[in-house]
A and B are shown apart, each in its own frame.
Chain A
Amino acid sequence: MPKKKDDRIAMRPNLRYMLGNWRKWDGKSFWVIAACIPAQIALPALTALIPKLMLDAINGAWAPGKLIALVAVLSSLIAFLSWIEPNLSEKLRVSAQLARMNYRILALRKIMRIDYETLESLEGREKLEKAKDFCFGGRWSGGEDFYDAVRQFLASGIGLLTFAGLLTQLNPLLLLIIIIGCVAEVGANIIGNRFMHKMRKDSNQAFMRIEYMYRSTKEAEKGKDVRLYNMRPWFLRIMQSAVDVHNKVLGKFVRQLIGGAVSLRTIATLAREAAAYFFLVRAVLAGDITPADFLFFFGIVTGFSAWLMTVTRQYGNIERCYRECQRFRDYMDLPDCTQGGSLPCLGQGHDGLKTIEFRNVSFTYKGSDEPVLHNVSFTINKGEKIAIVGENGAGKTTLIKLLCGFYPPTEGQILVNGVDIREYDRESYYKLFGAVFQDFTFLPVTVAQNVTITEKGAEDTARLEESLRKAGLLDKMRALPDGLESPMVKDVWERAVNFSGGERQRLLLARALYKDAPVLILDEPTAALDPIAENRLYQQYAEFSHDKTSFFISHRIASTRFCGRIFYMANAHIAEEGTHEELLALQGAYYKMFETQSYYYRKNTVGEDE
């Protein structure tokens, strides 16, 4: 059965984990629970008791003064209980919410520190997706709901025992019938949950598609293609068929639920109530209890079944919560990127880096059998300028990712200053690199903070301005309404500035320059630049990189002119290597690529024959 896998999740360690965290974050909540439970039990008991007491008073023909006293005591008791219960519940609600907040923060921290390869892998993404239920699903997330479930479970459990104790005074057969009725109800609940589970599973994909279609139609970026290719009929059809599937699944679910679970539950209720009336009336007629007691016990019977229902429902909730918790912890237990070596890598000083060496490095993505890099070897000395060119998919970006330590080589070693990079402490190793990657994100903070990645006040203003100036942005940024303090990311700040593609790329460059790391890596920095801006970048490249070791990846072969050494990559390895002139003289693949790209730039060629 597929359910088996879930069943193996152990309950105890997860309960211990969640309760341990609660004690750490908000320990006094345990006292709040302890205070809350008696109130929760006393309220229904008192509600059942009041009519009996009043009837006793009337039947006993009490003096009015005594009656007034009784009424005063009872109403203040009710007031007290109905004040204390919601009050404490509210405290617990806040505390549970706080716990979820803490879990979310733990998750956020983890995502930032997890080993990059795992983060990027399908497995890692799936695990994250599963872990999210525990703290990103709103109020019903396990990380929040657990604490309420525990409280309700305890309260109803104790309530159940108390009420059962009261009922034992009566016919034990009554207790038995009530329990059987409740078991049937529990069974109905289980059936209902199974239907629900199946319905969720069956309708989930349709629901995903409906939401996706909705998102796709409202986003302006997607709107151009949608209109020019007249995708409207296509979209409407996809959406309609998803809606049809969704509604069909739901319709079936409701029919099943009413036919199965609801009917069963109704029969159980009927049996329970009939038994309660029957036995209690019999008991009065037999003279075992007074008519006033009839009222009291009737209230207790009703209360008892309510407790039993709550106990089973909350047990189910606790089960769900600890399963979610296990998945959360599975993610939290994934290896961190800091779990590298312990050797501190060079600090911020440039003198530290001497050599970078790839020794027979091969790399294959998990779950694939084709290597992306195959037996790559080279040594680079401090200050060398490397250009990496080659076809799409030849392994250029993967090489950079390996160099940055994002992936470990499948075979071979990467050495910095003769030491395998696995020996270095990962966070200090990252200090080696200032990089502009192809995909990028900006933080919803100010322009200055996006460049410096430090809090306001901690930045080096001179260096910040110098970096922006080098990237050709300083004047533009200063001219913004809030200057360098202008916020970024429109989704978060309404006042945020929108930058063009070229400006964004230059901002990324400024960030890399501000970091002033010994190794500068630029991955396709010119793709969005016009010829003049591209030319300017080439001209300035020498200035950016004069005291650095640098890597420049580009589809534009012109970029190689400024690099002392060129790696031409093809079929997962470095096929050709040398200076521009050397490689041209070789008349190999690089030569062919250069010729292809320069073909149309030559004076006397006419572009019709190809």
Chain B
Amino acid sequence: MKKLIANIRLFWRGMRVTFKTAPAALLTVLNQPINAISPFVNIYFSSLILEQLTGKAAFEQILPNILWAVGLNSILYFITNSLGASNQQAWRRVYVEEHQSVAKAMLVLDYETLEDTETQKKSADLLNHWHHKGSPLNGPLFDLSNLLGGVFTCVMAIIFIKPLLGIIFKKTGDGFLNSPWLGISVCAFIAAGVGFVLFMSNRMSKRWFKLHERYLELEGIFHYYANMLEDHKSGKEVRIYAQHDLIEHHATDKLMHEGVALQRKLGSAQSLSSATLAIIGAILGFGVYLLIGVKGLFGFIGVGAVVRCMGSFLQVVNGLMQIGSNVGRLDAFIPGLRYFFDVVDLMPKHTGGNQSINPDGEIDIEFRDVSFKYPGQEDYALRHVSFHLQGGKHLAIVGENGSGKTTFIKLLCRLYDPMEGEILLNGVNIREYDEDSYRRLFGVVFQDYQLFALPLGENIAAGKDVDEERILLCLDESGFGLRLEKMPDGLGTWLYRECDKDGVEVSGGEAQKLALARALYKDAPVIVLDEPTAALDPLAEAAVYAGFNRFAEGKAAIYISHRLSSCRFCETVAVFEAGELVQYGGHEDLIVNEDGKYYELWNAQAKYYV
């Protein structure tokens, strides 16, 4: 019961969102009920006309009925078709709104929550639903409309059958055909039949969903391979390593065997339920036709009523089928709504304080005994790290893969909060600062920097408002200047082809230069570069270092690089090993300690260059 109330609440909430986005979408619910009216118009008027015809009425007397029938039908036809057209656009609006709300929700999350496996799972669930079952907000409307249509049909039909109801429970003569028992038994049959259909279709559709779910799993694997292969980058390996057979086996064998078997099962499940419905329909049909026929034959109802009753009975069967096949689906849309709202309701775990920072003022950052481990991990990524970085100073961070360098940067940028210890900016815990104002301090190029399939200039400015002159300056500085001249629309050129068919692809080296230009453009007081030159050749690398030295003049700068030469132009070097800060000092001081990690790292590389 509690569950039911929760579900209704969820449904209600979904409808409210739909109402705000595209109220017309809610009219979807009316679709089937309105559709259900028009057969009755024909039944009603054709029976009236039939009565008039048998009564030898003149054409002029019949004409009003014809006009009524045609007029009503045309109006209904216009309404359903217009409704259909406006529904279509309303659904698309709703679908788009769903994407937009999810994007909005994601954008306010802090990075830690965004990256959290639970968040990612929720978002994957929703995506899956979109792919296979469509929009979670629209979905219930269809089912509801079908169900209402069925109910509406039945109600209308019962109104039409009413004259029959008046006489079937009366004793009209001798024998079974004239006794009320005929009517009673037919009604009992109908009740039993309806009950059975509802019960069965509920079970059937549950079984169907279960099988379908399993089939989708198999399809998921196939889709992964299909997407992977579509990206031409995988093509070299597929050919060189002759991966065809392995891929084909894994992607398709299961689908062709288990998948096909499942489809056949699904098919026979469907067939079984339609067969059952048909048999029940036949039994009911026999009873009802007999009842109507007998009453008509014995003259208890007129020809018009006979036609109305028979036509209505056929509609009852349709209506019941419609109810039957939809009532089982009613709770199937609940998961979709839940996936949607679970994502939309995500809240940031940590938010900033309200202190703001003067970006032109003194910058002084201190790590005080900071420890951190990633959620779900057992080992610490950073342990008891303490250090001090002052404005205008340049720091190089070195260490082996996995020693905690990038984690350090993530904590510094407040993408994560430390588990123990604190990070202070100008003596104040960074949690106290307003997040946006704190992040304005950092111009960062991450190892896995990201550019977006949006205009080039906006990518550099990270926004719509671009200062073209400064962008050009930054692009020159990062070594992208020459390439820019070849861009068809200059700064307005769209990158990649996801959002614009005329977009331009850039190579890894070029992309890295763009990411550097973006950091330059930000002109932040602290510059952080995490492996900024991995994809660059030595000459381009030297040019970038030189450019940054100019740019970082008077600013705080942190370099992470596997090319230890970068340590030579930083005042201080921090050496990380297994999550700990093991050495800290100038290059000249560290290099003399032959037992130190720095000595080992430096010589592993430097020996090739002397």
Contact = CB atoms under 8 A, between A and B. Distances in A.
B293 A57 contact: yes
Interface string A424-465: 000100110111011111011100010001110000000000
A449 B293 contact: no
B400 interface: yes
Interface stretch (B72-80, B187-195, B360-368): B72-80
Q: Report which residue of B96, B240, B600 has the largest number of chain A beta carbons within 10 angstroms of its beta carbon.
A: B240
Contacts of B172: none
B351 interface: no
> Which 7 A-B residue pairings sit nearest by Cβ, starting from the closest?
A79-B282, A598-B609, A558-B608, A600-B565, A83-B278, A607-B569, A75-B285
A86 B463 CA distance: 56
A217 B400 contact: no
Contact of B604 (A217, A284, A534): A534
Contacts of A68: 290
Contact of B53 (A212, A294, A455): A294
B487 interface: no
Interface stretch (A160-168, A253-261, A316-324): A253-261
A500 interface: yes
Interface in A505-557: 511, 515, 527-535, 538, 555-557
Interface in A217-238: 217-218, 220-238
A210 interface: yes
Contacts of A337: 239
Contacts of B242: 427, 430-431, 453
A266 B82 CA distance: 10
B247 A281 contact: no
Contacts of A535: 604-605
B540 A558 contact: no
Given A83-B278, A232-B107, A501-B401, A439 B244 contact: no
B243 A529 contact: no
A439 B232 CA distance: 10
Chain B binding surface SS class: helix
Contacts of A233: 463-464
Interface in B512-553: 518, 522, 534-542, 545-546, 549
Contact of B240 (A104, A111, A226, A433): A433
B504 to A, nearest CB: 11
A113 interface: yes
21 contacts: A75-B283, A83-B279, A90-B271, A125-B232, A210-B96, A213-B99, A220-B115, A222-B450, A250-B93, A285-B53, A291-B50, A294-B46, A298-B42, A401-B236, A404-B240, A443-B228, A528-B401, A528-B534, A530-B601, A531-B605, A593-B538
Interface string A275-298: 001100110110000010011001
A257 B85 contact: yes
A274 interface: yes
A94 B562 CA distance: 57
A278 B66 contact: yes
B564 A269 contact: no
Nearest to A111: B229
Given A97-B263, A234-B458, A558-B608, A529 B401 contact: yes
B531 to A, nearest CB: 8
Contacts of A265: 77, 81
Q: Report which residue of A277, A454, A592, A598 has the largest number of chain B beta carbons within 10 angstroms of its beta carbon.
A: A277
Nearest to B110: A227
Contacts of A557: 538, 608-609
Interface in A330-378: 337
B103 A218 contact: yes
Given A93-B267, A230-B462, A593-B538, A225 B446 contact: yes
A262 interface: yes
A181 B301 CA distance: 37
A136 B294 contact: no
Nearest to B403: A530
Contacts of A20: none
B246 A251 contact: no
Given A64-B294, A213-B103, A54 B289 contact: yes
Nearest to A129: B230
B297 interface: yes
A79 B243 contact: no
B109 to A, nearest CB: 8
Contact of B289 (A75, A235, A530): A75
A107 B54 CA distance: 65
Q: Report which residue of A94, A294, A427 has the largest number of chain B beta carbons within 10 angstroms of its beta carbon.
A: A94
A599 B509 CA distance: 22
A214 B446 contact: no
A120 interface: yes
B566 interface: yes
Interface in B265-285: 266-268, 270-271, 274-275, 277-279, 281-283, 285
A85 B546 CA distance: 78
Interface string B284-315: 01100110111011000001001100110010
Contacts of A229: 462, 518, 522
A104 B246 CA distance: 17
Given A75-B282, A281-B62, A94 B264 contact: yes
